[in-house]
Copies of this chain bind each other. A is one copy, B any other.
Amino acid sequence: MTDVARAAGVAIGTVSNVLNHPDKVAPATLERVQGAIAQLGFVRNTNAQQLAAGRSRSIGLVVIDISNSLFVDIARGAQRYATELSMNVLVANSDNRIDQQRADLDFFDGARVGGILLAPMEDAGDDVARIRTHGRPTIMLNYDTGRNDCCQVLVDNEEVGYLAARHLIEIGRTRLAFVGGRDYLQPVALRRRGVRRAVAEENGRVTLQEIPTENLDPPGGLRAGEELAPQVRDGRLDGVIAVTDLLAMALIQVFGAEGIAVPGDVAVMGCDHNSAAWGGMIPLTSVQMQGIDMGREGVRLLLAELGEDPATHEHVTTVLRPELVVRESTVGRSAISAASV
């Protein structure tokens, strides 16, 4: 940190502020200090060989599933900010496999990247602790360890579910279903809780049934759709929140095949704004998970942690707010056309 302060011509406290409280620093100073950081490379745990190879100026990003556009957004957000700092981001896809996730973490550790951003499938505390002993911090994305043992960037997933249910209630739907399974996955459990809260606030005017699915991909949605179709016909169901967009897309497909109109007979929406689910016949209402911001904030926290003494570093959790994206599957094409013209 002393080197950075000297290079930027500022006090050490200013460098610390840049890393930890950038909002407190004048823009021009911020830029000068960040420039010096970029110029000098990471200020700890580097050596000439690594700097020469440029590898300590690289960040490893491990994601669960690169075909989910949330993780593509995270990669883009992280890379754009890294590029501003003359760093680069490498992406490893754990492809929903815990052994692959460990192999990816080990690759980045062995390749001596400066640090790691990890969007984990489940608790990876042991791996993270091991890698930290090599001087490489890991920032957790979209996963709350609940232990304050690393910096984290989260989206308020309870708010995701709440926004989804509020939207259906506001467009007049009163007989809702929540479709989703694998509650051991944090986002699923939290979104479910948010949906329940929005329904509870209606004091019985809105009903909610919960349809468990084995997985979060289209096959689970097809089975749930077959279960729900008779209820739509009987007027017992007029709004569905699927915990993922892929489930929602499958539901719409089944309803279409059964002659049920979306959103006429039943409004359907997803919760994770996954562009892989946009290929269906009816554009899908969903909730934007702010992946670009998540990636950017992850790099910022990583840089902050690298700039501090590990003995005194205090971990930070940033929580991002999700945002509703309204499309045809809940309000119909005419409403969207009217709004967009």
Contacts and interface: CB of A to CB of B under 8 A. Distances in A.
Interface string A99-124: 01001101100110000000000000
Nearest to A275: B275
A110 B49 CA distance: 11
Nearest to A333: B281
B275 A110 contact: no
Contact of A93 (B54, B76, B93, B106): B76
Contacts of A230: none
Interface string A71-112: 011011001100100001111110101001001101100110
A283 interface: yes
Contact of A90 (B53, B55, B107, B275): B107
Interface string A240-267: 0000000000000000110000000000
A328 interface: yes
Nearest to A76: B67
A69 interface: yes
Contacts of A80: 95
Contact of A75 (B76, B93, B336): B93
A340 B254 CA distance: 11
Interface of A: 53-55, 58, 66-67, 69, 72-73, 75-76, 79-80, 83, 88-93, 95, 97, 100, 103-104, 106-107, 110-111, 256-257, 275-276, 278-281, 283, 327-328, 333, 336-337, 340-341
A104 B100 CA distance: 22
A328 B100 contact: no
A107 B281 contact: no
25 contacts: A54-B107, A54-B110, A55-B107, A55-B111, A58-B107, A66-B75, A66-B91, A67-B69, A67-B72, A75-B93, A76-B95, A79-B93, A79-B95, A88-B107, A89-B93, A90-B90, A90-B104, A111-B111, A257-B340, A257-B341, A275-B275, A275-B278, A278-B279, A279-B283, A281-B336
Contacts of A72: 66-67, 72
Given A55-B107, A111-B55, A281-B337, A88 B76 contact: no
Contact of A55 (B75, B76, B110, B328): B110
A89 B93 CA distance: 8
A61 to B, nearest CB: 9
Contacts of A58: 107
Contacts of A75: 66, 93
Given A88-B104, A90-B91, A91-B93, 5 more contacts: A75-B93, A76-B93, A79-B93, A80-B95, A90-B104
Contacts of A280: 283
Q: Top 4 nearest A-B pairs by Cβ distance?
A: A278-B278, A111-B111, A53-B110, A91-B91
A279 B278 CA distance: 5
Given A88-B107, A280-B283, A76 B83 contact: no
A273 to B, nearest CB: 9
Contacts of A100: 83, 88
Given A91-B93, A110-B55, A328 B281 contact: yes
